[in-house]
Structure 1
Amino acid sequence: MSDGGAVTADMPLAQGGHDGQGHDGHGHGKSRLTTLALGAVGVVYGDIGTSPLYSMKEIFVGHHPLAVDPLHIYGVLSLIFWSLIVIVTLKYVLLILRADNKGEGGSLALLALIQRRTGGGRWSAGLVMLGVLATALFFGDCMITPAISVLSAIEGLTIVEPSFTPFVLPISVAILIGLFILQSRGTALIGQFFGPIMLTYFIAIGVLGVMSIIANPEVLIALNPIWAVRFFAHDHVLAFLALGSVVLAVTGAEALYADMGHFGRRPIQAAWLYLVFPMLMLNYLGQGALLLRQPGAAENPFFLMAPDAWRLPLVILATLATVIASQAVITGAFSVVQQAVQLGLMPRVRIEHTSASAAGQIYVPSVNWALMVMVILLVLMFGQSSNLAAAYGIAVTGTMFISTCMLAVLVFRVWNWPKLLGGLFILLFLAVDGVYFASNLTKVPDGGWFPLLVGLFAFTMLTTWARGRQLMIARMKEAAMPVKVFVKSAVNSAVRVSGTAVFMTSASDGVPHALLHNLKHNKVLHERVLLLTVKIEDVPYVDQKVRTSSLEDLGQGFYRLILRYGFMQDPDVPAALAATTECGPQFKMMDTSFFLSRQTLLSSERPGMAIWREKLFSWMLRNAESAMEFFRLPTNRVVELGSQVEI
């Protein structure tokens, strides 16, 4: 899953006026659609495309092994086929991809879209919790995907030569470390190879599947859903447990929606319907045909399906594919963190841009190194892809279930579908997602605890920050003085000095604490005083024309300005001020001082949060990136003034 997506060098994102229409393929011709579809193959489908490496193996020899006989082979293949139809094709490709927030997708974008279109209401608090929970689960998925993908590919070496077994872990760790080290350089160079490599990979696995199917064409009868029914009728308990492994075939479905802003709806749909889905099913059917001939091949049917001479090249190709899948997940994590920061769910973190042309190509050092440590620990702790498969699935199915709940609100409150039609679709998705999630819960003792633990930790951090920030702003507003009263009294009691003072404040009314402290201690006011608030809207992009539209002249050289940005944009205060001409002379950075307020939190007996959460919020506040760097303020023009706040 790649909630937030990866951006490669040939995918520039337009700043402002981003309505998503340019990415749909209309007006660009078939060549434009083909190019974007190839890009989608390279990034969007890396995760789900590498699922055949471990899915069938885990189903038949994993923690709940099945007998390798025709009934179970046909039943499993039928479940995989209809899961890909219902979950991926129907739910994501045909329905959820229609829910674009000004061209962007993903859990947070969907949350912002629903809130904007419905105006919040009684659903608001619950929806926010669902969006935050989906984001929290996503971080667990981000750690497991690179580990299981690379490990399963390198395990193919043991099929080529069994004596390679001791080298599987060291090679996997080395590849993963190298991948994370390269993140700071961006994906501009390697990104252009993603599409061609993944196209080659999909064609290769499809060809291998066809070769195997030709030897046992009767495997095609597995497409009949009656085999899934017979599988459950034969042993419903074992079939239910097997769903926990079958779901591995659909991991990565969320990436279709999350990466919509980078490629558009039509290219993603075309890539799935005309290439990815057919090639995946041919490969799964080919693995099934192999198992009909050689039940012992269940130990690793993906690589054993290839002729001996093809296995080493296949290992190399599969390794490249898993590295690309991991790259997409990692950069997706960067994108989600950026969105969460902008939407006020996380403290400010250092975000670096690795491309001058691709606005979404970013690097978040703290997230990168934290992910690397956790991924390496996972590989060393679990040792084999089969063990990791037990940890995989809970985060994915949990996110899928949450996305269905959010889709229900979208269908009935935003799209206004007829209740009967909408109800049938939502009940189908809830039933399928619910059964898969319930089956994965049985894997908690075997490793499923890990993504739940990561999700709980992330959820606690996200909600603590959001709640603490809300309380802190509320307490500061209580002590705020009305601006007009302050202006009248301050002008007569302070000395005016030349230049411009910009006071950054999170509140769009009242007097900033930094201004009060500056007047109290220095007893001076600049000729021009600007009270500046940066507001992140619930749309991905805000056009330059409306960025500085909220300007108020308070008189006596005082102004209040609200800068508006989308949650996919980076605030650049000096650049925005340079474009502002409606509040006196043009801003010159050498004549402008920026005043920031740094709060020190004090615990109080007032109702708010538990003491441990207050301490956690205080720690997060202290370690957040400086507003100076976040808003790109000139380092030699910033003054920080401290204040104490009780929450």
Structure 2
Amino acid sequence: MSNDQPQNRQRLLALCFGALGVVYGDIGTSPLYAFREAFGQHGVAVGRENVLGVLSLIFWSLIMVVSVKYATFILRADNKGEGGIMALMALAQRGVNSSRTRWILMVIGLFGAALFFGDGVVTPAISVLSAVEGIEVLAPALHRYVVPATVLILLGLFAIQKHGTSRVGPLFAPITLIWFLTLGTLGVVGIAQEPQVLSALSPHHAVVFFAHNGKFAIFAMGAVVLAITGAEALYTDMGHFGRKPIRRVWFFLVLPCLTLNYLGQGALVLADPTKASNPFYLLVPAPLLIPMIVLATLATIVASQAVISGAFSMARQAMQLGYLPRLKVLHTSRETIGQIYLPWVNRVLLVLTIAAVLGFRSSENLVAAYGLAVVGTMFMNTLLVVVVARRVWRWSRLATTLAGILFVGIDLVLLIAVADKIEYGGWFPLALGVGVFTIMATWRRGRQLVLAAIRQTGIALQPFLASIALHPPLRVHGTAIFLTANLDGVPNALLHNLKHNKVLHERNVVLTVEIRDEPVVDDDQRVEVKRLNEDFELVTLRFGFAEDPDVPAELARIPLCGAPLDMMDTTFFLSRESIVATDRPGMVAWRDRLFVLMQRNALPATAFFRIPGNRLIELGTQVEI
């Protein structure tokens, strides 16, 4: 027992250190721009009560949204240890039986995931831009180099994605640790000059701020939203580190350092209101400005890397759950299964991020686009976790209602605060979210229509086997595995093989692969085998949405028709559907065409399931939707 305790503490410390580098990069770079924007072009006037009021709102937003809502409440909603809105959606759907309610939860989850992708575009753009803009404080004449330098840094950032984070990952936590300690130290220096700023910790100043500014106070909250961007990472990355390390790092390091830095910036502005233009960098002593710009740039690269990796993980979960077409997934680490690279997603993020930088050209312009995606994702998380509290955790109706009113109320205030930013840039992540949502919803509906069409034109399996027994075809040596999504019908590949080759193998397996709404499937539920007769079996393989399906490896663990799998004596048969868009009811014409385009560019199921190409025969079939 005495030996286990030091090992457990050491492991917990290692997880805390890793969580620091991955989870808190985004919210840790918010001091670069959040407080400044409260007094920017669309903010409030610089004055003592406004400064203290904004600081109070920032502090209590960190407490209520991050500490209470995410660190305490939402982190409980783990799907077998996994977090993120796709895992939360699957968990919420598991708790309800109504198909209509499940559909509503799906829409909420998909739109939240779509906004997350929008966040994955805006976060690298605004983070790197805000860091590089520090050179304007150093020398205003360097302003024209801000955008080109930002583009070059982003090109390098996306270029290294194919090498994975395993090489640079060990640097993330030390950089982030130095960053937070620097934030706290700068904050203490600023507070020492104006100790009265500590009174901002009282919620009284937030109330006074609303009383003095009226409806403009709500819109000033848009800047406060920027202080909590990245809070969703606490839940998204829970599967990598666990809730205990994430909570400890937040309460013992990140929250204190962020609070000190915001107070330090506020103290600076109280002493000299003209420094509200860029209080973060103006808080830095002049001799340390260049090292601080370098450190801030490194910190924003870490923050951007975490968001990009999160987008990769989200895309893989969406693929596994059937909301995106199959894409190429490369593993960049032999030790860590979660480190993956999706080339297509990386290219799309790169193009859109560069477009955001070139289009908005400054972090001040881009902040309007930033808040909407973040708050939208938070709102969807709240709706789903309230369902989980009631249906899965079995909370009482009163407790669920109270929690829902509290958190939904906070999110609605934040949504109203960023609503006026739509015309100034909030339309950008919203448009991205609508686009991604349309793609996911179209793919899901299209696959349903394809499966329905296959079932409608298919032949029942049991009568087919009976007819074969009466009129047996020529049998050949070996094992044939027919992949299908419908275990009740005869696979088209089997029909075509009999029709054209006039033969049947001595052992035949009808195989389907299911992706469950849980991250990892237990071993005792992995495989289900049903014997139809001496030479025909139905096999179902089940995988979780966080797993990589390896069909040959799983089949090698079980006997097929009484014999172990011999890959050199086995042939996989797959029916490749050629989708034809028609005027049948189902989807509008443009969605039919979009689905056909995605289907043609999707990764073949055989590659996705790791079926060797030299053991594969594909037979085409046409499906009308």
Normalising by structure 2, report the TM-score: 0.97
Q: Return the alpha-carbon distance in structure 1 between the equivalents of residues 73 and 507 of structure 2.
A: 52
Tell me which amino acid in the other structure corresponds to 1:41: L
Per the alignment, residue 20 of structure 2 pairs with 41
Q: 2:71 aligns with which of 90, 93, 102?
A: 93
Q: Indicate the larger mover: 614-623 or 479-488.
A: 479-488
Does structure 1 residue 55 correspond to structure 2 residue 6? Answer: no
Shift of 1:120: 5.0
Q: Partners of 1:392 and 1:300 in 2: how far apart?
A: 18
Which residue of the partner structure matches residue 564 of structure 2?
586
For 1:622 and 1:262, the matched residues in 2 are separated by 34
Partner of 2:412: 434
Note the C-alpha offset of 1:614. Answer: 1.0
The answer on 1:360 being equivalent to 2:360 is: no
Tell me, yes or no, if the aligned pair for 2:92 and 2:385 is still in contact at 8 Å. Answer: no
Per the alignment, residue 389 of structure 1 pairs with 367
Q: Is 1:502 aligned to residue 481 of structure 2? A: yes
Distance in 2 (CA, whole Å) between partners of 1:344 and 1:645 is 19
Alignment of 1:313-462 (within 5 A): 313-462=291-440
Q: Which range moves more in the overlay, 519-528 or 215-224? A: 519-528
8 Å CA contact 2:537–2:560 kept in 1: the answer is no
1:634 aligns with 2:608: no
Query: After the TM superposition, which residues 183-198 of structure 1 pair with which residues of structure 2 at under 5 Å, given as runs?
Result: 183-198=161-176
**C-alpha distance in 1 between matches for 2:76 and 2:445:** 32
Q: What per-residue deviation string (whole Å, max 9, x for no partner) do you get for residues 108-138 of structure 1? A: 1011112223445542111011011111111
Q: CA deviation at 1:418?
A: 2.8
Q: Does the CA-based 8 Å contact 1:487-1:556 persist in structure 2?
A: no
* Deviation at residue 420 of structure 1 after TM alignment: 2.6
Equivalents in 1 of 2:487, 2:207: separation in Å? 60
Q: What does residue range 17-166 of structure 1 map to in structure 2 within 5 Å? A: 29-61=8-40, 63-119=41-97, 122-166=100-144
Indicate whether 1:524 and 2:503 are aligned. Answer: yes
Aligned partner of residue 187 in structure 1, secondary structure: coil
Q: Relative contact order (C-alpha < 8 Å, sep 6+): which is higher?
A: 1
Q: Residue 188 of structure 1: SS of its match in structure 2?
A: coil
CA distance in 2, matches of 1:226, 1:629: 60
Which of 456, 478, 481 in structure 2 is aligned with 1:478? 456
**For 2:553, which of 575, 579, 590 is the aligned residue?**
575
SS of 2:168's partner is: helix
How many Å separate the matches in 2 of 1:626 and 1:582?
Answer: 24
Match of 1:304 in 2: 282
2:167 counterpart SS class:
helix
Q: Does 1:292 align with 2:270?
A: yes
Task: Name the SS of the counterpart of 2:54 in structure 1.
Answer: helix
- Structure 1 position 27, deviation (Å): 9.3
Question: Gaps spanning 5+ residues in structure 2: where?
Answer: none
- Counterpart Cα distance in 2 of 1:356 and 1:533: 28
| Partner secondary structure for residue 199 of structure 2 | helix
The one-character-per-residue Cα deviations of 1:48-102 (angstroms, maximum 9, x if unpaired) are: 00000011121112x3132111111011001101111111110000000011100
Following superposition, the deviation at residue 599 of structure 1 comes to 1.1
Contact 2:92-2:392 at 8 Å conserved across structures: yes
Is the CA contact 2:509–2:560 (under 8 Å) kept in the aligned structure 1? no
**Structure 2 counterpart SS, 1:559:** strand
Q: Is the 8 A contact 1:597 1:643 kept in 2?
A: yes
Amino acid aligned to 2:240 = H
Letter in 2 for 1:511: V
| Greater Cα shift, 612-621 or 161-170 | 161-170
TM-aligned CA deviation for residue 592 of structure 1: 1.2
Matched position secondary structure for 2:486: coil
Task: Flag the 1:209–1:405 CA change in 2: closer, same or farther, 3 A.
Answer: same
Q: Deviations over 1:549-603 (max 9, x none)?
A: x101111411110111110001111111111125322212221111111112233
User: What is the distance in 2 between the residues matched to 1:27 and 1:476?
Assistant: 58
Describe the SS at the equivalent of 2:95: helix
- Pick the aligned partner of 1:540 from 496, 519, 534: 519
Displacement of 1:419 in angstroms is 2.6
CA distance in 1, matches of 2:412, 2:194: 34
Residues 64 and 238 of structure 1 are in contact (CA less than 8 Å); yes or no, is this contact kept in structure 2?
A: no
For residues 80 and 350 of structure 1, the distance between their equivalents in structure 2, rounded to whole angstroms, comes to: 41
Q: Give me the whole-angstrom Cα distance separating, in 2, the residues matched to 1:565 and 1:327.
A: 28
- Structure 1 gap segments, 5+ residues each: 1-24
- The whole-number CA distance in structure 1 between the counterparts of 2:306 and 2:110 is 21
Q: CA RMSD in A?
A: 1.5
Partners of 2:90 and 2:103 lie apart in 1 by 12
- The one of 541, 561, 564 equivalent to 2:542 is 564
Which residue of 2 is the match for residue 214 of structure 1? 192
Greater mean deviation of Cα atoms: 110-119 or 171-180: 110-119
Tell whether the 8 Å contact from 2:52 to 2:197 is kept in structure 1 after alignment.
yes
Offset from partner CA, 1:467-498 (integer Å, 9 cap, x none)? 11111111111122221211122342421111
CA distance in 1, matches of 2:618, 2:5: 50
The whole-number CA distance in structure 2 between the counterparts of 1:508 and 1:69 is 70
Contact 1:480 1:511 in 2 (8 A): yes
Q: State how far apart, in whole Å, the 2-side matches of 1:576 and 1:349 are.
A: 22
Whole-angstrom distance in 1 between the partners of 2:135 and 2:21: 24
Shift of 1:344: 0.3
State how far apart, in whole Å, the 2-side matches of 1:479 and 1:187 are: 48
CA deviation string 1:146-193 (max 9, x = no partner): 000001001111112223222211211111111111011111111011
